[in-house]
Structure 1
Amino acid sequence: MPEKVKRSILSGIAGIVLVFLVLAMVFNVRGNLQKAKADTVTTTVTVTNSAPQWTVYPFEDPASATTTPTNVGTQVTFKAVATDANADDYFLAVCKTNAVTPHNGAPPTCDGGAWCISATTTSGTTSTCSYTVQESDTNETYEWYAFVCDAYEGGALCSSVSQGSGPSGSPFVVNHRPNFTVVSNDSPKDPGQTITWTTTASDPDTIRGGDTIKLFVCSTSGFNPTSGCTGETLATSTFVSSNPSASYSIPIPKPDMTYDGYVFIVDQFNLAATGTAQGSNSQWTVNNVPPYIVTSTITILNHDGSTDRLILTTEAGTTTGFKIRYQIVDNNSCWASGGGNEISSVIAYVYRSGIGQAGCDSASEANNNNCYPEITDFALQTCPGSTTAAIWATTTFTLWYHADPTVTSTKWETETWKASVKAIDDDSATSTLVEGESSIELDAFLALAIQESAINYGSVMPDVQSDQQTTTIKATGNTGLDQELGGNPMVCSSGGCGNSTISVDRQYWYLTSGTNWGTLPTSTYRDFLSASTTPVYSQLECPKSTSTTPASKPTYWRIQVVTAQPRGLYTGLNYFTAMMSTSSAW
C-alpha cells in the first residue's frame, strides 16, 4: 500500500477517536454541576444640561451691508435657529462684545452691552430680536456677536459665539442722515423764466466712497422720503455728492405773488436729512409783468356790430355805441391775487389814419374831427381763473357828427379810421400802446338843418320884387354841402284870393346877397325855384362843420308876383335837400 494512502487512513481514525473523547468529558462534567441562584444590578446615570446648538447660524434680515445699510431710526433685525438637547426654550443674545453671561431661568446679559436679546423661543424654531439704530450711532459699521442661551433654571448654558457669515453677517452697516444747513433761491422771476434753489448740504458717510443726495422742492410741507412731495413737486435735483440744486420753470400764466417752496434732501437710501434747512420754506416770488394787446385782434365795430363802416346817425350831436374789440394777454393771468381782475383799466385811441397813432396819443391832441384819445369806457370778459392768460375786452366810444368821412368822393377817401389800445394791470404796469392791424371806413353823413322856420316875403305888389329874405343852411353832418331846392305852389289861405295860386317859379334864389329877382343868366348859383318833384341844384358850398357848432351858409330869396295876381295871403312849402359838395369846397 502506498505510503500516502496509509497516512490518510491513520489521520481519519485519529479524528474519530478524538471526537469520542470530547463527548465523554462533556457528559461527565454535566453530571457533576450544581444549579445557580438569580440576582440584580442597580444602574444610575446623571443627565446634565447641555447648551443649545446652532441649527441656523445668526443672520440679519434684511442684510445690513455696505450696499444695503440700515438707516438711522430704523431697525436691524437678527434671526437664528437653535436646538436644545434638553428641549429647553432658548434666548438669542446679540452682543456688542464677545462675552455673554447666562442666567438661570432668565435672559442672558451681554457683558459689553447688548444690541438686542430675544424673548424665550421654543427649541428648533426661529428666534428674532431687533435693534433700532440711533442718531447717536455715528460709526458706519458695528460688530456683533451672537449667542444662544437656554432658559434652564438649574444652570443655564450658552452656545459658542457666532458672527454669521457673508453680507448678512457681522458687522451691521449704518446709513446716516445728510446734513442740510443752507438754502436760497434766485427769485423774483418773470413767468416763463426759471427759478433755481441752491443748497449747502453734504452726507457724512464714506464707506461707499461717499453717498449721494437729492433735493426736492415742494409746494406744501408734506413729504415722504421714499416717494417725495405729497403735494405738487416744483423741482428736483439729480443725485450729487453735495450741495444739490434744482430748477423750476415758471409756467405761463402765473399770478404775481409769493409762493411756498418747502425744501427737503434725502440720500440715495431715501433717508431724510437733518439740519436747519430741512423742511424749511424757501418762498419764491413771481414778478408782475405788464400785459400786452394782441394787435391782430383789434377790431372796430359799428354800433350794429358790423365791421365794414362806421355810420353816424345823430345830427349836430354824438352817435354812441361804437366799439373796439381786442384781446389782452397778461402772463400773470387774468386773475388777480385776492380775487378780481388783473387788468384794472384800458385806454383806447381812435383816429383817422392820416393823423396816425403819434398824432393822437394824448388828451391834448383831441379833435372831434379826427382824434378821440384816452377812451376809458371798457368791459372785460369774465376771467375763468388763474390759468388763463388771454381775455377779451371791449371799449365803447362815441363820435361827433362832424368826424371826418373816409369813403369815396370825400376829402379823406384814401384814409380809414384806426384804433390803438393799451392795458394797465392792478400794479399799474402798462402795456405798449399798439395799433390794430385792421381799419374801418367812416361813412359820409349828409345832413342839414335850416336855421329859419319860414321865408316871409312880407307884402308885395304885382310885378315888383320883394325885399331880400334869407335861409341859413347848417351842416349837421360830416360833409360840406350843396343843396337841391324845390317847392310847391303857394296857395291862397286868406284875404279873398279864393283858389288862386302863385307858381313855384315866381320865387327866385341866389347865393350872392343883393342880386335882383330874375337876374339872368341862371346858374348853379342863382335860379328860379323848381317844383319839388324836379328840384334845382344849388352849388351852395357850405363848409364841412369842424366843431360842435355847425358850419352854415345863407341862401337868399326874392319873389315877384305876376300882374293881376289876386290880393290875399298865400302860403307854400319849400324843400331843401342836402347834397355833398365837392370836397375841395369843404
Structure 2
Amino acid sequence: MPILVIFCLLWSTFAVGVVFNLNFNIYNKQENNLNFVIPEAQADQATTTVFVLNASPYFVLGPFEKPFSTNTTPVNVGETLVFTALADDPELNDYYLLVCATSSGAAVNGGAPACQGTQFCVSGATAVSASSTCVYTNVVDPGAETDDWYAYVCDGHATEAACSPVNQGSGDGGSPFYVNHAPTIDLVITSDNNKAPGGTFTVTASSTDTDVLGGADTIYFDICATNSWSTTTRCAVSLCYATSTISGGITATSCQFTINSVVPDQNYTYYAYIQDWHNLAGTNNGTSTYYTVINVAPIVSGVVINNTIDIAPNLKGSAEAIATSTGTVTDYNGCTDLLDATSTIYWESVSGAENCTANDNNCYKMTAVDCIEDVGSCTGDTDSNTTYTCTTQIAFYAVPTDTSARYASSTVWRAALAISDDNGAFGIATSVAGVDVETNTALDVTESGINYGTMSAGSNTGNNNATTTVVNYGNSPLDAGIYGTDMIDSPYYIRATYQEYSLINFGWGAGTDLSSSTIPYAELDVLIARPTSLTNVTDEVLWGLGLPVTTHSGDYTGTTTFVAIIDENGSW
C-alpha cells in the first residue's frame, strides 16, 4: 500500500511539471516472522519559473481635443484637429498616441501603431511623462455634424508592442468631435441692373447651409470687383457685402453698390463669396456674373461762335475768312466714348436754324473732318469732359448783320455743335450769344480804262459810248459814287466836266457831267445787288466826251474814280 501511494504521487508531480528528487533506502524488517523491505525518504527542493509579457502604456491625462470642439465651436471640414494626451509606461518605453475612426487600434513591433480602419492621426514617439500630440489634417466630411474617435497609447516594443485599452476621452474635449460644413452659393443675380453712371445696383445671392447644431449660423456675403478674396481680408476690391442667418436650409440676401459718376458703358464682371461664422469659405465661391452700365447721351454746353468776335468776310478774289465754333462735351460714359462732332454756323433767320441746308449765304455745315477734339482735353475714360473746335471758311457774300446791314436790328449769326457717341446717342446745343457778319462794301471795274480813242478839237463821241463794268466785290447791294480828274497833256488839259456818263446808251450832251469834286461826289444808282454766289454781279456805266474847239492837240490822260456805296434799298 505505501508503494502504490508513492507511485501515484510520482505521476501526479510529473503531470504538473514539478520535479521531486527522491532517494529511497531499502532495508529489511522482520516482524512476526515476516520480512519487509521498507524505503526511507529524505527532505528536498522544487524550482519555480514564470514568463511575464511587456506591459502596455496607460493614459495619465486625456485623451482630449485641443482646443475642444463643441456644437458652437466645431472644426471646419478641411481644416486641422489636434488630439493630446499624457501617458506613462511601466517599463519606461516611449509611447505613441493613436486616434482612429473606429476601435481598431493595433500595436506594431518596433514602430508606430496603426488603425485597422480609418486612421485620424498618430503621434511620434514620446517619452513617458511627456504630453503627446497628434494632428488630424484636412478633416474629412463624415456626412454628419459629429464624428466619433477612439484613442490609444501604444509602445513600439521590438517583439511585444502593446496598446492601452481604447479611450474616447470625456466632456467637451472627448469623442465625438463636431464638424462644421461649408455653406454653398446657389445663385447670384444682379436683381436691379442696367444703370447709368452714378447709378445704384442691387445684387441678390442665395446659399444653402446644412448644419443645425449650435443654433442659427451667420452667413457673410461678399461681392467683389475682382477675383481676389480671403476669409480674413475679404474682398481685395469690394462692391458690397451683407449678412444673413440660417439654420439648416436656404437663405437669400441682397446688397447694393453705387458706381462712379463717370463709367464706360459695358458689362462688368463681379464675383460672389460667402463664409460662415466659423470662417469656413463656401463652396462655389468665386461664382461670377455681371452688372451692366448703360450708355447715356453726351451733353453739349458752352457753344461759342468765333470766340464771340464778329466775322469779317474777305473781299471777292481773296482767301476766304476763317470762322470757328467751339464747345464743351460731357459724356458720363467717359470722353473716350465720343465718336464724331459736327457743327453749323448759321444766320439765325435762315429756314431750319441749325438744321438749315448748306448755303454759303447763310448756312455753313462742318463735318467730323472739320471738327477736332482739342489736344489734351480728354484725359481718359474716367474723364467726362472734352472740348471741340470746328472750322469753316466764310464766303465773301455771306449775309451781313452789322450796323450797316438791313438786318442789323434783328438778327445775328449763331453756332450749333452736335456730337454722337459710339452707340449713336446724340447731343446738340447752340450758342447763347451771337456775332455779326460784317458788311464789306467793295467794287471792281473790269476795264483798265475809259478809252475815247482819237478825236478832233470841237468834236464829241456822239452815240459811240465807252463802257466800264462795275463788279460787286462785297456782301451788300451797291450804288456807285463817281468823280474824276481833268485829263492833262501838260501844260494843256481837258476839264473833267467835258466827260458825261449814263447807265444807258446816250448821245453826248444827254449824259451826266463828270464831277471833279471828291466831296461830295456824284452818286450813281447802279443796279448791283448783293452777290449770292461766285458769279459776278455787275452793272455798266457808259461814257462820252466832248472837246472844245480850243483843245490843243496831244495825248491826254486823267483818272476816274468809282466809290462803292451801300444801296440801302437794293437787293440784299
TM category (shorter chain) comes to 0.7 to 0.9
Deviation at 1:401, TM superposition (A): 1.0
Q: Does 1:65 align with 2:70?
A: yes
Q: Which amino acid aligns with 1:569?
A: D
Deviation digits for residues 200-237 of structure 1 (CA, Å, limit 9, x no counterpart): 4222222243323344444444443433345x444444
TM-score where L is the length of structure 2: 0.77
Number of the residue aligned with 2:421? 425
- Structure 2: runs of 5 or more not aligned: 1-48
505 and 131 in structure 1: CA distance in 2 versus 1, 3 angstrom threshold = same
Q: Tell me what 1:299 maps to.
A: 304
Alignment map for 1:194-233 (pairs within 5 Å) = 194-230=200-236, 232-233=237-238
Name 1:26's counterpart in structure 2. Answer: none
Aligned residues of 2:299 and 2:330 also touching (Cα < 8 A):
yes
- Is residue 382 of structure 2 the alignment partner of residue 396 of structure 1? no
Matched, 1:456 2:451: yes
- Compared with structure 1, are the counterparts of its residues 515 and 350 closer, same or farther at alpha carbon in structure 2 (3 Å cutoff)? farther
- 2:353 maps to a residue whose letter is G
* Superposition map of 1:112-511 within 5 A: 114-134=119-139, 136-152=141-157, 154=160, 156=162, 158=164, 161=167, 163-166=169-172, 168-185=173-190, 188-230=194-236, 232-239=237-244, 241=246, 242-275=251-284, 278-293=285-300, 295-296=301-302, 298-301=303-306, 307-315=308-316, 319-335=320-336, 342-355=337-350, 358-362=352-356, 365-373=357-365, 375-376=367-368, 377-382=370-375, 383-413=378-408, 414-427=410-423, 429-462=424-457, 465-466=460-461, 467=463, 468-492=465-489, 499-511=491-503
Closer, same or farther: CA 157–182 of 1 in aligned 2, 3 Å? closer
- Counterpart Cα distance in 1 of 2:429 and 2:266: 27
Residues 476-523 of structure 1 show CA distances to partners (whole Å, capped at 9, x for unaligned) of 21122233333333223xxxxx6422233333344566486476xxxx
Do the aligned residues in 2 keep the contact of 1:70 with 1:76 (CA within 8 Å)? Answer: yes
Q: What do residues 31-85 of structure 1 show as CA deviations (whole Å, max 9, x unaligned)?
A: xxxxxxxxxxxxx999984743424x34433443334332211111122333446
Q: Deviations over 1:442-493 (max 9, x none)?
A: 111222122333222344455555344443322221122233333333223x
Q: For the structure 1 residues 145 and 135, does the alpha-carbon distance in structure 2 shift closer, same or farther, using more than 3 Å as the test?
A: closer
Any conservation in 1 of the 2:150–2:166 contact (CA below 8 Å)? Answer: no
SS of match in other structure, 2:497: helix
SS of corresponding position for 1:393: strand
Report deviation, 1:391. Answer: 1.8
Question: Which one is further off, 378-387 or 80-89?
Answer: 80-89
1:18-167 alignment runs, 5 A limit: 49=55, 51-55=57-61, 57-84=62-89, 86-96=91-101, 106-108=111-113, 114-134=119-139, 136-152=141-157, 154=160, 156=162, 158=164, 161=167, 163-166=169-172
Q: Which amino acid aligns with 2:444?
A: A
Which structure dedicates a bigger proportion of its chain to strand? 2
- C-alpha displacement of 1:103: 5.6
Q: Distance in 1 between matches of 2:87 and 2:505?
A: 140
- Look up the SS of the partner of 1:121 in the other structure: coil
8 A contact 1:406–1:412 mirrored in 2: yes
Q: Which moves more between the two structures, 508-517 or 201-210? A: 508-517
Match of 1:579 in 2: 565
Are the aligned partners of 2:74 and 2:180 in contact in 1 as well (CA < 8 Å)? yes
Q: Could you tell me the TM-score, scaled by structure 1's length?
A: 0.76
Amino acid at match of 1:444: T
Cα RMSD of the aligned pairs, angstroms, is 3.6
How many residues align? The count is 511
Change (3 A) 1:503 1:124: farther
Name stretches of at least 5 consecutive residues in structure 1 with no aligned partner.
1-43, 336-341, 493-497, 520-525
